[in-house]
């Protein structure tokens, strides 16, 4: 099961690279914020349809959840705007490696302290070495 989830996550990462490749030209043509809006509008419509057919009808109310859990929506917009603006200027690979470096560094902190109700996973030497390799990859791609 874990291998299957890892493969799905890798496929999701590949999808983000495609999304970045689509957002750059779209932002150039219609404007960065309109491109961001269009991505979220299409995504919201698709999510709504998926909810209609696949979401349990007796799930907890959306409005009864802590407001801090909804901040991901704000972070999503910031992320997509960054993709839209950065990708045409520095390329998809550089954008994705930079995003990955930020994700891994923050993820290590979140795991280490067990923030947001996640299980505690201590930062160890292997995780730090992995982050260093990602930073090295960022430097190497920047040189190219």
> Which contacts of 86-93 are long-range, i.e. CB under 8 A and separated by 24 or more positions?
87/20, 87/21, 87/23, 87/24, 88/24, 88/25, 88/27, 88/28, 92/17, 92/20, 92/21, 92/24, 93/141
On whether residue 98 sits in a domain, the answer given is yes
Give the model confidence (pLDDT) of 79-133 as tens digits: 999 999 999 999 999 999 999 999 999 999 999 999 988 999 999 999 999 999 9
Q: What is the pLDDT of residue 65?
A: 82
Q: What is the pLDDT of residue 58?
A: 78
Give the model confidence (pLDDT) of 68-81 as tens digits: 888 888 898 999 99
On whether residue 61 sits in a domain, the answer given is no
d(CA 100, CA 25): 22
pTM comes to 0.81
On whether residue 63 sits in a domain, the answer given is no
Round the CA-based radius of gyration of the chain to a whole number and report it. Answer: 18
Q: What is the pLDDT of residue 68?
A: 83
Give the model confidence (pLDDT) of 17-61 as tens digits: 999 999 999 999 999 999 999 999 999 999 999 999 998 877 777
Residue-range definition of the domain harbouring residue 116: 2-53+72-143
Number of domains in the chain: 1
Structure tokens at 46: 């698709």
Angle ∠(47,50,51) on CA atoms, nearest 5 = 85
On whether residue 66 sits in a domain, the answer given is no
């Amino acid at each position: 099961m874990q291998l299957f989830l890892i493969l799905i996550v890798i496929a999701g990462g590949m999808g983000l690279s495609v999304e970045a490749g689509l957002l750059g030209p779209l932002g150039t043509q219609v404007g960065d914020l309109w491109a961001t809006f269009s991505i979220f509008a299409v995504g919201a419509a698709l999510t709504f349809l998926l909810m209609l057919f696949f979401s349990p009808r007796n799930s907890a109310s959306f409005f009864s959840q802590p407001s801090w859990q909804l901040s991901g929506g704000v972070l999503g917009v910031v992320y997509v705007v960054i993709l839209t603006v950065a990708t045409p200027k520095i390329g998809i690979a550089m954008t994705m490696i930079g995003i990955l470096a930020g994700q891994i560094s923050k993820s290590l902190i979140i795991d280490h302290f067990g923030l947001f109700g996640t299980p505690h996973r201590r930062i160890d030497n292997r995780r730090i070495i992995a982050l260093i390799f990602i930073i090295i990859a960022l430097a190497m791609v920047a040189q190219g």
